[in-house]
Structure 1
Amino acid sequence: MSPATTVSDELLAPLSNGIELCYQTFGDPDAEPLLLVMGLGGPMTWWPRELCVRLAEAGFYVIRYDNRDTGRSTRMTGRVTTGRLARAFVGAPAPAPYSIGDLAGDALGLLDHLGLPAAHVAGVSMGGMIAQTMALDAPERVLSLVSIMSTTGRRGVGWQSPALLPTLAARRGPGKEAYVRRALLVWAIIGSPGFPVDEADLRARAGETWDRGVDEAGVVRQMLAVLTQPDRTRRLGEITAPTTVLHGLADKMVHVSGGRATAAAIRGAEVVLVPGWGHDLPAPLFPTFVRAIRRTADRAGRRP
């Protein structure tokens, strides 16, 4: 880590909707703000610290945070039954405790708390869906958009590999070690075959995630928000913020067709497709991520 990079403590932001979001910042508050939005069930620490530091060194004031129902942010209530989840999976009506739009509202509320009228926004997976929704619902607040291994909400693109289903459906058992074992199984499937991660590092990440707080019911609530999201394809054509879509050609969690469809729907979007990249943020690709986010932000600065 660069000694010049300032890293804040983890803080709680009380939002006007009653939610509290846990967040952390990297870099100079006077630099260009960059909001990082994580995906399903992932705490902000899934944005690797080293990547956040590199982004700060690239000229950003980096903000990462826990979505509601994740990590140290507010835990919601309301049980989602297996039947309701199954109905949502096949496209049948299934009321959700909250929506992707609500999660986008949380992100905008965090910007309010920080006194930021607008920010560059990058989102991973579900976080990409949230970032896209921010750009649609509050276009004046999204300076640039980077949608990473995400999709449009259209059911015909961005599907999951059938190889994932047995592992995702299996009961993991109670306790930290059971969570770590399950996480290793999932990451073995969705990780990047071209950029493998050492098992010790995966164990450490899973253990840290557990220690920050894992709520299976919360993950299911987030999953229902994903399954009930609208198809944004037509509306994505309204986005005017400079946009880049990053996706791996080996992604088994969100098929690359989701990234291609996102890029096709947003006028002028740049698309970067990486062979061997799965559904994670491997360290060898940090330079690719930093360059793409910096390049997209620079395009915002050149707009008339």
Structure 2
Amino acid sequence: MVHETMMPVNGIEMCVETFGQPTEPPLLLLSGDAGSMDWWDDEFCRRLAAGNRFVIRYDHRDTGRSTSCPFGKPDYSGADLLLDAVGVLDALRLPAAHLVGFSFGGALAQRIAVHHPSRVLSLTLMAAAVDDLPSPTSAVPRGGPLPVSTAKIKSGVGTVGVRPVTIEVDWSNRRSAVSRMIAEVRAEGGPFTPDEPQLRRLAERIFDRSADLAATRLNHQLAGYGPPIRDLLPTIATPTVVLHGTLDRHFPADHPEQLTRSIPGARLVWLEGVGHEFPPRAVWTQVLNEILTPAA
């Protein structure tokens, strides 16, 4: 059973979609930076639900159908994005959930585990890193798309860093925006990255569901991540698995290795031939098994 709804969360409207039966253990999916829930493949979500999970995905504020702010004027911080994830659980009357976060979503999951440990049953951190390790220069921001600005953007409080960005795309133009999203995914991917027709369908869906893609892609960068939590990671007691692509150029091997060492009992699992991307279908069996095993 799949159900999408708009619900009030922390004074805004958030779009939330669920798969499976509410009586099963809940599993919350956290998308990347400036990423709507569409990045979690529909069939991937259904297979998670088939593993006896109540799967929840949602649009971060300023993405998809959730409340959007004007371009360059977010009225929220990285801390609010964390509270939104917890607020989704509150809105669904769920005391805790298994958290699965990709890139920026992995950073949110770490923070929830540190600041709200009772809300976390297990952690799966994909393409993620310790938040205050310096990130290498990359054409694509952490977990998703390029922001739009002629200036360097400092990502809020913390040490996420400064990224040079340029105005290259008219994000209000469907063809231009879709082409750019396809190019970004392919640039960060590997041999298993979906082909162009599949990426085009996804990018068109994201464009059609978004209120303002330009605002989406800038505002999350301005909101940032919040204060660093590296020194608090050893307090995490929940079962944790770190999934990382062997071809991830955005966060090379030292990042997931440091993250795994920082969380007691965490396991590092390499995804062969995978870049900085949501799990491609070729590794779904491995990824689904890793997500569902610690949650068993």
Q: Aligning the two structures, in what range does the TM-score lie when normalised by the shorter sequence?
A: 0.7 to 0.9
2:27/2:98 contact within 8 Å kept? yes
Q: Report the 3-state secondary structure (helix = DSSP H, G, I; strand = E; otherwise coil) of the residue aligned with 1:237.
A: helix
Supply the AA of the counterpart residue of 1:216: A
Distance 1:169 1:254 in 2: 22
1:239 maps onto 2:229 in alignment = no
Distance 2:41 2:57 in 1: 10
Cα deviation for residue 50 of structure 1 reads 0.6
Percent sequence identity is 37
Task: Flag the 1:179–1:14 CA change in 2: closer, same or farther, 3 A.
Answer: same
Distance 2:61 2:99 in 1: 18
Cα deviation for residue 225 of structure 1 reads 3.2
Distance 2:201 2:54 in 1: 27
> Structure 1, residues 54-104: CA drift from partner, whole Å, max 9, x if none?
101111000010000100001124626xxxxxxxxxxxxxxx853332111
Task: Flag the 1:167–1:177 CA change in 2: closer, same or farther, 3 A.
Answer: farther
What are the within-5 Å matches in structure 2 for residues 126-275 of structure 1?
A: 126-156=104-134, 158-161=135-138, 169-173=166-170, 174-191=172-189, 193-213=190-210, 214-226=212-224, 229-275=226-272
Q: Report the 3-state secondary structure (helix = DSSP H, G, I; strand = E; otherwise coil) of the residue aligned with 2:169.
A: coil
Distance 1:162 1:126 in 2: 16
Identify which of 2, 19, 36 aligns with 2:29. 36
What TM-score do the two structures reach when normalised by structure 2? 0.86
1:189/1:252 contact within 8 Å kept? no
Higher helix proportion:
1
Q: Report the 3-state secondary structure (helix = DSSP H, G, I; strand = E; otherwise coil) of the residue aligned with 1:244.
A: strand
What are the within-5 Å matches in structure 2 for residues 279-298 of structure 1?
A: 279-280=276-277, 281-298=279-296
Judge which range, 200-209 or 284-293, deviates more: 284-293
Structure 2: tracts of 5 or more residues without a match? 147-162
Supply the AA of the counterpart residue of 1:283: R
How many pairs does the alignment contain? 273
> Structure 1, residues 7-43: CA drift from partner, whole Å, max 9, x if none?
11x201102x212110111011100000001011211
Task: Flag the 1:114–1:186 CA change in 2: closer, same or farther, 3 A.
Answer: same
Judge which range, 96-105 or 158-167, deviates more: 158-167
What TM-score do the two structures reach when normalised by structure 1? 0.84
1:106 maps onto 2:84 in alignment = yes
2:207/2:213 contact within 8 Å kept? no
What are the within-5 Å matches in structure 2 for residues 8-19 of structure 1?
A: 8=3, 10-15=4-9, 17-19=10-12
Cα deviation for residue 167 of structure 1 reads 10
Judge which range, 229-238 or 264-273, deviates more: 229-238
Identify which of 67, 72, 79 aligns with 1:74. 67
1:49 maps onto 2:42 in alignment = yes
Distance 2:253 2:218 in 1: 24
Structure 1: tracts of 5 or more residues without a match? 1-5, 81-95, 299-304
Distance 2:37 2:222 in 1: 20
Task: Flag the 1:276–1:101 CA change in 2: closer, same or farther, 3 A.
Answer: same
2:7/2:91 contact within 8 Å kept? yes
Distance 1:296 1:33 in 2: 13
Cα deviation for residue 163 of structure 1 reads 8.6
2:154 corresponds in structure 1 to none
Cα deviation for residue 286 of structure 1 reads 1.3
1:61 maps onto 2:39 in alignment = no
Cα deviation for residue 151 of structure 1 reads 1.4
Supply the AA of the counterpart residue of 1:262: L
2:140/2:184 contact within 8 Å kept? no
Distance 1:189 1:169 in 2: 17
Distance 2:281 2:164 in 1: 25
1:7 corresponds in structure 2 to 2
